[in-house]
Amino acid sequence: MLNELLQKLKDAGTPDAEVTLDVLCAYVKKNDYSTVRLLRITNELSFTDAEKKELESLVSLRSEGEPLEYITGEREFYGFIFRCKKNVLIPRNDTEILVDTVLDFLKDGDSLLDLCSGTGCVGISAAKHRKISLVLSDISPCALSCAKENAERLLPEENVRVIYHDVFRDTPKDMFDMITANPPYITAKEMGSLDSDVKKEPSLALFGGEDGLDFYRAIAARYRSCIKDGGYLFFEIGAKQGAAVFSILEKNGYEEIQIKKDYNSKDRVVFARKTK
């Protein structure tokens, strides 16, 4: 049975078909990935009839292009397991460099606003390493529900608020030491050529306007007054957007602007300081 299911995934063009099968097996068996993978490789993995039926159904979903994270309902990010629901952007490993950069400046006692927070992976990961006051914000009710669940599970005793927030209309009343944002930044042209898996994710979390820069313009201009003097604004960006976002921050009076590359040597983070 497993060989047939593996071939089905391969025939569908599923990336990393073997890994995908092992993840789904682990999900069905409610066991850890490493143990299940070893049992499968050594032909010692067995299933009840109910488990076989469930596994076959899940493999069919993945073969039809459903993202693995929506099937299992979770994704590992920055060493933590985040709940991931349909209609919420799936956390990417590329985004971990944003957390790395934030942690270089974030101190215990600081306040952090995470805009366009999605699952909450950026803000929550930062709060797992520093004792901070955290606000997670998004416009999507599905994302807010997901972020709230992740915050309650991963930061049960921390100071976390989850709020509905439209970056084009709403302005927070509070002041923050730092603001982070991984906003939608896909251009109109790029939206038409996304991978099939990505097209299953919400366009609300992907489309950043004709040139992909709408959110950067709005946040840089509207949120400067919400950053304490000496505080920072951190953006994740698309690989070709470094110079444009640098310019947006410069025009809005930010200083000490820097572009940071990800682990694949692509521009991935732009951050700046509000000095006065």
pLDDT attached to residue 58: 97
pLDDT attached to residue 199: 83
Domains, in order of start, for the chain: 2-65 (no CATH), 89-273 (3.40.50.150)
Beta bridge partners of 253: none
Handedness of CA 105, 180, 218, 208 (dihedral sign): positive
Per residue of the chain (276 residues), give pLDDT as tens.
Answer: 899 999 999 999 999 999 999 999 999 999 999 999 999 889 899 999 999 999 999 999 999 999 999 999 999 999 999 999 999 999 999 999 999 999 999 999 999 999 999 999 999 999 999 999 999 999 999 999 999 999 999 999 888 999 999 999 998 889 999 999 999 999 888 888 888 888 888 888 888 989 999 999 999 999 999 999 999 999 999 999 999 999 999 999 999 999 999 988 999 999 999 997
Beta bridge partners of 234: 180, 271
Q: Report pTM.
A: 0.92
pLDDT attached to residue 130: 96
pLDDT attached to residue 198: 85
